[in-house]
């Protein structure tokens, strides 16, 4: 009886990397544009400012763009003088920043793994 081992081959493709980069950037731009829209809206009359509504909007945004959402941490800062359970609590600001895995995620674009199983 012969025992064969599995063989893995890591492949890289410039065309695949370009395609994946393009797709990521498009979704990421849409995600960031919407975050900026919500942030600017905090200082514009008749735009959503209530804390629980902003949290809901951010949650929906993360649901709509999961690929971009996993690359960023988003923090919604409420007013300091009211408890979080207060339905009239307003949002003070929205902050987002890239996660540490951002560079790792970009570095893997265009890569694929082939696996050869023994018969």
Q: How much is the mean pLDDT over the chain?
A: 90
pLDDT 10s digits, 63-92: 999 999 999 999 999 988 777 778 889 999
pLDDT of residue 117: 73
Q: Does 113 or 30 have the greater pLDDT score?
A: 30
pLDDT of residue 104: 84
Rounded Cα distance between 116 and 119, Å, is 9
pLDDT band for position 51 (cuts 50, 70, 90) = very high
Summarize the confidence of residues 13-28 as an average pLDDT: 94
Q: Residue 14: pLDDT above 80? A: yes
Closest to 29 in 3D by CA, of 71, 80, 91? 71
């Amino acid at each position: 009886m012969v025992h064969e081992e599995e063989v893995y081959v890591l492949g890289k493709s410039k065309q695949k990397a370009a395609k994946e980069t393009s797709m990521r950037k498009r979704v990421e731009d849409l995600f960031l544009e919407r975050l900026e829209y919500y942030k600017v809206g905090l200082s514009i009359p008749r735009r959503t400012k209530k804390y629980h509504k902003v949290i809901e909007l951010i949650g929906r945004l993360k649901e709509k763009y999961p690929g971009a959402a996993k690359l960023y941490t988003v923090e919604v800062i409420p007013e300091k003088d009211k408890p979080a359970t207060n339905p009239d609590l307003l949002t003070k600001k929205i902050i987002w920043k890239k996660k540490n895995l951002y560079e790792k995620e970009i570095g893997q674009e265009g890569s694929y793994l082939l696996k050869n199983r023994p018969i």
